[in-house]
Structure formats: structure tokens, C-alpha cells
Amino acid sequence: MLERPPRRRRRATATWALLALACCTAGADEEVVHRERSLYQTILITQEPSRLCMKFTIRDRERNQSCTDPRSPKRMVFTYTRMMMASLLLTPDPGSVLVAGLGGGTLPTALADLLPGARIEIAEIDPAVVQAARTYFGFETDDRLRVHVSDARVFVKRALARGEHYDLVLLDAYSGDYIPEHLMTVEFLAEVRALLAPGGVVAANTFATSILYDHESETYRAVFGEFFNLRLPDSNNRVILASNSPLPTRATLRDNARSWHRRLRAYDVPIASYPSRLSRKVDWDDTKRALTDQYSPANLLRAR
């Protein structure tokens, strides 16, 4: 598969270099190069010795949202970002992709490079995040890659009203300590399922710990039935992979991993190891209640 010219990566590398000249102090572990209070959170851009990061401060806690390594701009720094690429095992050549949540733009930028024929759209509620991604991470849009300043659920409803469908939907709108509760209910996931093209796939980056795990698992099962769980020992996240069609066999997953292995090396995605780690096992308390628009105490459950 041909790759698009790496203009985004060049711009991100140049931006990082300028920041290093402008504000880095010798021996400093971290330098705040941008701080902004948006309508939704405090956004910090920090420069560390080997990476540039976007952080969100919610409820007085700072959490990394996106980071880039200027020495290897393609490399996905975080495990959970690499895990989201497991979605390509279920739909190896998606022609249309919706990403809920932008951060620094790591996922959509990688997908735009890897899928030169795909239409990619992003729903990001915070315009300040979009601007920070453009300014500090070299995020750029074009005719194929578009960002919409919109709540993801509102965007999904409007896309359904327009009769649109997507081969792949990536839900990545959660921060380390906060969950938009309206994006974790049976009603929302039913809308996402309706938005999928035949054989479409949804991948959700979420949490692997706390009592919320049980409720969220039941919520996905209520809408999609059987789904894959991807969990890794070095991450507190999990990625849920579900479809509106029967899940692929292990042999199909391995075949798709082989076809993607070489192309994902530069992103540091160990795609060949993922098929054996995808589990359909019900490893949660299936007596727990699914989350709905009337019952969605996700953040309270997350704290337990």
C-alpha cells in the first residue's frame, strides 16, 4: 500500500525543534510550553527530554493524553494507542473511519498515512484541543481527513440522520480519570452500531480496572453480543472490539496480522502478537446492570 507524503510528520518534528530552542532549560525534566483553560478542561503542552506531550487537567489531576517522540515521529508512544490498531485485524481495509476524540491527532494521522484511500472524520468537542493539535503536534486536515468540533454523540446522531455509515468507529474520548457518561450507554452504542456499514467494527479505548469494567462489559454485550477484549500486562487500559457481523476466526485474525505487520513496524505496533491476546471470554460479573441514559454513574463506578 502506498503511503502519503509525510508532511504532517515533518511539521511536527520542526515544531518540536523550535520549542526545544525556545523554552527548554538544561537539565529540566519537564517544561510547560503552553497552558490553556478551555470550556472543558485545562490543556497543558509539556516538553520532556525525549517527547512532547498534551495533558488534560480535570479534577486537579494531570493525565497524558498524547505524546510524540521527535526522534521517531511515527512511533506510537502509548500502549493503548497501539492497541487501538488491533481494529485493523477485524476490518483490514476500511474505506471510512470515524474517530471520537482527537487529542494530539496520533490515531487519525496514522490512519490517514496507512489508508490512503479512506475517508477519515474526527469528532472533537473542544476547539482548544484542535488548535493545540495543529500548533504543537503538526496535525493537519485535508479533503480526506476532516475534524468536526462537536460532541461525539451529537455527531453520530446527525450522521445517522444524513444516512452516513462508517466501516470503522474508534471511541477514544476518555481521559485518565473522566468519562463522558453519555458515551457509555446502551442508547449511544446502539446509535454507533446503526452507524456501522455492513461488517463494520467499533473499537473503544477504555479501562481495565474498577467495578466499571463489569457494567461496561454488560453494556457492550447488550448491544453487540459477543465481543473481543484486548488486554496487555503493561497497560491499565483495555480495547473493546465489536462488530455488527460475526467476529472473525483466529485464522482470519492471524492472516490480517501478517498483511499489516510490515506496514505497522514504523509505528511500533506489535500487531502479530494481538490475535492470540484477543479474548471472547466473559471475565466479568455478568449480573451487573448495563449502563443506560437513565442509569450511567460511570465516574462513580470508575472510582470504586
Catalytic residues: 172
Q: Are the C-beta atoms of residues 214 and 298 closer than 8 Å to each other?
A: no
- Tell me which amino acid residue 287 is: T
Which residue has cell 446502539?
190
Q: Which residues face 54 on adjacent strands?
A: 45, 66
Inter-axis angle of helices 186-195 and 212-224, nearest 10: 40
Q: 31: number of CA atoms within 13 Å, CB side?
A: 18
Distance CA 55, CA 103 (A): 9
Distance CA 278, CA 79 (A): 15
Q: Are the C-beta atoms of residues 167 and 111 closer than 8 Å to each other?
A: no
Distance CA 140, CA 10 (A): 11
Long-range contacts of 153-160 (CB under 8 A, 24+ apart): 153/182, 153/183, 153/188, 153/191, 155/98, 155/100, 155/123, 156/98, 156/123, 156/188, 156/191, 156/192, 156/195, 157/191, 159/98, 159/195, 160/191, 160/194, 160/195
Among candidate residues 206, 231, 227, the one with its CA nearest the CA of residue 280? 227
Cell triple for residue 235? 497497560
End-to-end CA distance of the chain: 46
